[in-house]
Chain A
Amino acid sequence: MNATREIPGTTLFDGTQARKGYALNKMCYSFNAAANREAFKADEEGYCSKFGLNDAQRHAIRERNVLKLIAAGGNVYYLAKFAGIFGLDVQDLGAQQTGMTKDQFKAKLLAAGRN
Chain B
Amino acid sequence: MATLVGGITTSHVPAIGRAIARDLQGDPYFKPFFDGFPPVHAWLDRVKPDVAVVLYNDHGLNFFLDKMPTFAVGAASEYRNADEGWGIPVVPPFRGELDLSWHLIESLIGEDFDLTTCQEMLVDHAFTLPMVLLWPGRAAWPVSTVPVCINTVQFPLPSARRCWQLGQSIGRAIQSWDTDKRVVVVGTGGLSHQLDGERAGFINKDFDLKFMDSLVDDPTWATRYSITDLVELTGTQGVELLMWLATRGTLSAVVRKVHASYHIPISNTAAGLMVLENAV
Q: Are B60 and A81 in contact (CB under 8 A)?
A: yes
- Interface SS majority for chain A: helix
* Interchain CB contact under 8 A, B60 and A7: no
A49 sits at the interface (CB 8 A): no
The answer to whether A38 has its CB under 8 Å from any CB of chain B is: no
B134 close to chain A: CB less than 8 A: no
Q: Answer whether residue A112 sits at the interface, using C-beta atoms and an 8 A cutoff.
A: yes
Q: Which residues between 183 and 213 of chain B lie within 8 Å of chain A, taking CB atoms?
A: 194-201, 203, 205
Within 8 A of A (CB), among B221-241: 226-228, 231-232, 236
B226 / chain A contacts, CB cutoff of 8 Å = 1-2
CB pair B228–A80 under 8 Å, yes or no, is no
Say whether chain B's binding surface is mostly helix, strand, loop, or mixed: loop
Is A101 an interface residue when CB atoms closer than 8 A count as contact?
no
- The CA-CA distance from A113 to B263 in the complex, in Å, is 7
A90 and B268 contact, CB distance less than 8 A = yes
Among the stretches B71-79, B81-89, B96-104, the one at the interface with A is: B81-89
**Are B82 and A9 within 8 A (Cβ)?**
no
CB-contact partner of A12 in B84, B86, B155, B270, under 8 A: B155
- Verify if B267 is at the interface (C-beta below 8 Å from A): yes
B195: contacting residue among A25, A26, A29, A90, CB under 8 A: A90
Tell me if B65 is interfacial: C-beta within 8 Å of chain A. yes
Q: What residues of chain A lie closer than 8 Å to B84, measured between beta carbons?
A: 32, 81, 84
In contact, B195 and A10 (Cβ under 8 angstroms): no
Complex CA–CA separation, A31 to B203 (angstroms): 29
> What residues of chain A lie closer than 8 Å to B231, measured between beta carbons?
7, 10, 12
Q: How many residues in A have their beta carbons less than 8 Å from beta carbons of B? A: 50
Given the complex of chains A and B, what is the CA–CA distance between A77 and B267 in angstroms? 15
Question: Count the A-B residue pairs with Cβ separation under 8 angstroms: how many?
Answer: 141
Report how far A36 CA is from B235 CA in the complex, Å. 31
Set A7, A8, A37, A105: member contacting B201, Cβ < 8 A: A105
> Nearest Cβ in chain B — how far from A67, in angstroms?
7
Measured between alpha carbons, how far is A84 from B60 in the docked complex, in Å? 14
Q: Mark B26-65, 1 if CB is under 8 A from A, else 0.
A: 0000000000000000000000000000000001110011
A11–chain B nearest beta-carbon distance, Å = 6
Are B265 and A11 interface neighbours, CB within 8 A?
Answer: no
| Residue B156, interface by CB 8 Å | yes
Nearest chain B residue, comparing its CB with the CB of A25? B65
Give the CA-CA distance A56 to B192 in the complex, in Å: 31
Query: Which residue, B15, B84, B159, B196, has most C-beta atoms of chain A within 10 A?
Result: B196
Knowing A1-B226, A1-B228, A90-B267, say if A14 contacts B156 (CB, 8 Å): yes
Decide yes or no: A76 and B196 within 8 Å by CB, A14-B156, A113-B264 being known contacts: yes
Tell me whether B15 and A1 are in contact (CB under 8 A).
no
Interface residues of B in 255-280 (CB under 8 A from A): 263-265, 267-268, 270
What would 11 A/B residue contacts be, using CB atoms closer than 8 Å?
A12-B228, A14-B154, A32-B61, A33-B83, A34-B83, A77-B60, A80-B195, A85-B85, A91-B267, A91-B268, A94-B200
Closest 6 pairs between A and B when the two form their complex, measured CB to CB: A84-B86, A113-B264, A9-B199, A81-B85, A9-B198, A76-B196
